[in-house]
């Protein structure tokens, strides 16, 4: 059977909607409408109404709820009806009553009784795409929506604005404007298609191969650069007879420099494959080695100043940075990092017996969170229509926790923004740039408060990460991400528990 549906976009906020039903299905229908048209006047009637629906009434003043059986008078002044009930006979009764009033009705999970379907909506600014499977599978429609949402760039809104400006500047009748706009949008693609030849396809293939070879060449050049750097350092050490001073530096604090090389190596591998975990791993291990909490955070942020700088530049060049988000996040992130650093500097030494278990409990929580992510399936969940998180509060809180606990910006800030449905590409890029500002601020604050006696730890973490960088691209591509999550999560949990036990004994 062919799909004879004709998609129509309704200005729902100018129409009155009646929803009959108060369970989970009614909640899903209600959320779908409110997500696209939050000011739609809605009347919801049901004998029993779940608490999630009642909570929405506080957020949306145009939502009117009646906890009772529906009545014939409920159809007065209504223009569309959605029935979300489990009783088929009741659904048919609602449909019949709606039709006597010349109203269109949607019956949940009964496509054969529907006069219209609620599409799964792709939203990108002013662009909206309605996806429908002719009532056969809403789940497939939602999956298609996810694919389209990820594939359409956020910049499409700027393109639409530009096209509107061009349209207003064009002179002539409607047909002329349509022709000119069609030329603008299709000329480049047509030229590329017409000029495409088998040799062009071979050239594109050759370019892809060349890029792959160039990427590998860059890795090998990086490795060669590391060996050259070693050679230059060795020459300097020999020329100025610095071997004794360097040996004292390396053996300081129980050879902790070598431990930090290992920690920096492991943290860089994990961060490269998982996109998080650097601060968590470093904090957990340093606490286990009985390093004072202020030195832990100061060392990590000093080393991270270099890694986040490189990451920020990369994201900016790739166009992954939402400047507006950064300008909102980073001032409060800086304030939070200063507050966290000062708090830890003043109270970390005197109250180490209290601060250490607090930070260990926090890393324990992060370890559990990492382990949970390993087994979390990508299932379709109902979208929760809450107010967006206040970015300023999120930035300050993330900056404070990251500076005080030695890590946590990624899981808290980046994780929260992604869970809200924001584009991961821009969230990761923008939060990385904001984190660079807080790591610099935190490191400088610690230098002025506790000094720079922790450079053996900083240098170990930094060199361990730097020397790993040339190999990380090759190594992490071969590591199974899920198993990495499991291993890292378990290690962090065990080490955190050991730190907690040692602090309490």
CA atoms within 13 A on the CB side of 287: 37
Q: Do 461 and 282 form a contact (C-beta atoms < 8 A)?
A: yes
Specify the pLDDT at position 132. Answer: 81
Q: Which of 379, 387, 385, 417 is nearest to 33 (CA)?
A: 385
Q: Do 376 and 252 form a contact (C-beta atoms < 8 A)?
A: no
Beta bridge partners of 65: 44
Task: Work out the angle at residue 357's Cα, subtended by the Cα atoms of residues 288 and 330, and round it to the nearest 5 degrees.
Answer: 90
Dihedral pair phi/psi, residue 140, rounded to 5°: -65, -40
Task: Work out the angle at residue 89's Cα, subtended by the Cα atoms of residues 87 and 90, and round it to the nearest 5 degrees.
Answer: 65
Specify the pLDDT at position 53. Answer: 92
**pTM exceeding 0.75:** no
**Per-residue exposure over 325-357, b if at least 16 CB sit within 10 Å of its own CB, e if not:** bbebbbbbbbbbbbbbbbebbeebeeeeeebbb
SS3 category, 486:
helix
Given a cut of 50, the residues of the chain with pLDDT beneath it are 188-189, 192, 378-387, 473, 476
Specify the pLDDT at position 381. Answer: 40
């Amino acid at each position: 059977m062919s799909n004879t549906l004709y998609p129509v976009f309704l200005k729902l906020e100018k129409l009155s909607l009646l929803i009959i039903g108060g369970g989970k299905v009614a909640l899903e229908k209600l959320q779908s409408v409110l997500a696209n048209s939050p000011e739609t006047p809605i009347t919801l009637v049901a004998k029993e109404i779940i608490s999630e629906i009642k909570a929405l009434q506080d957020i949306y003043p145009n939502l009117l709820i009646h906890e009772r059986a529906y009545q014939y008078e409920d159809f007065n002044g209504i223009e569309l009806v959605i029935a979300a009930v489990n009783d088929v006979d009741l659904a048919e009764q609602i449909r019949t009553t709606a039709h006597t009033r010349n109203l269109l009705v949607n019956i949940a999970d009964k496509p054969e009784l529907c006069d219209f379907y609620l599409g799964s909506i792709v939203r990108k600014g002013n662009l909206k795409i309605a996806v429908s499977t002719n009532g056969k599978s809403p789940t497939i429609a939602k999956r298609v929506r996810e694919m389209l949402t990820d594939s359409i760039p956020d910049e499409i809104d700027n393109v639409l604005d530009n096209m509107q400006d061009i349209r207003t500047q064009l002179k002539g009748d409607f047909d002329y404007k349509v022709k000119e706009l069609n030329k603008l949008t299709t000329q480049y693609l047509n030229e590329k298609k017409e000029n495409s030849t088998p040799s062009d396809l071979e050239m594109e293939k050759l370019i892809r191969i060349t890029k792959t070879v160039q990427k590998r060449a860059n890795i090998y050049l990086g490795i060669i650069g590391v060996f050259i750097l070693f050679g230059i350092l060795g020459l300097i050490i020999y020329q100025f007879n610095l071997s004794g001073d360097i040996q004292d530096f390396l053996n300081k604090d129980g050879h902790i420099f070598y431990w930090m090389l290992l920690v920096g190596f492991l943290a860089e591998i994990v961060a490269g494959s998982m996109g998080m975990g650097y601060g968590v791993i470093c904090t957990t291990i340093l606490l286990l080695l009985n390093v004072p909490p202020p030195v832990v955070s100061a060392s990590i942020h000093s080393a991270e100043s270099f890694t986040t700088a490189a990451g920020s530049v990369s994201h900016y060049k790739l166009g992954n940075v939402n400047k507006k988000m950064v300008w909102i996040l980073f001032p409060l992130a800086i304030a939070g990092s200063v507050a966290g650093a000062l708090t830890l500097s003043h109270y970390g030494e005197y109250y180490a017996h209290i601060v250490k278990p607090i930070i260990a409990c926090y890393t324990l929580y992060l370890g559990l969170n990492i382990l949970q992510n390993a087994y979390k399936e990508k299932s379709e969940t109902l979208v929760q229509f809450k107010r967006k998180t206040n970015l300023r509060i999120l930035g300050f809180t993330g900056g404070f926790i990251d500076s005080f606990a030695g890590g946590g910006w990624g899981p808290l800030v980046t994780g929260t923004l992604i869970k809200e449905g924001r584009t991961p590409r821009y969230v990761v890029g923008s939060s990385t740039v904001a984190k660079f500002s807080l790591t610099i601020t935190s490191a400088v604050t610690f230098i002025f408060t506790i000094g720079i006696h922790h450079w053996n730890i900083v240098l170990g973490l930094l060199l361990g990460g730097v020397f790993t960088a040339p190999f990380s691209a090759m190594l992490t591509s071969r590591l199974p991400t899920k198993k990495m999550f499991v291993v890292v999560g378990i290690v962090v949990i065990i080490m955190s528990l050991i730190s907690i036990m040692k602090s309490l004994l």
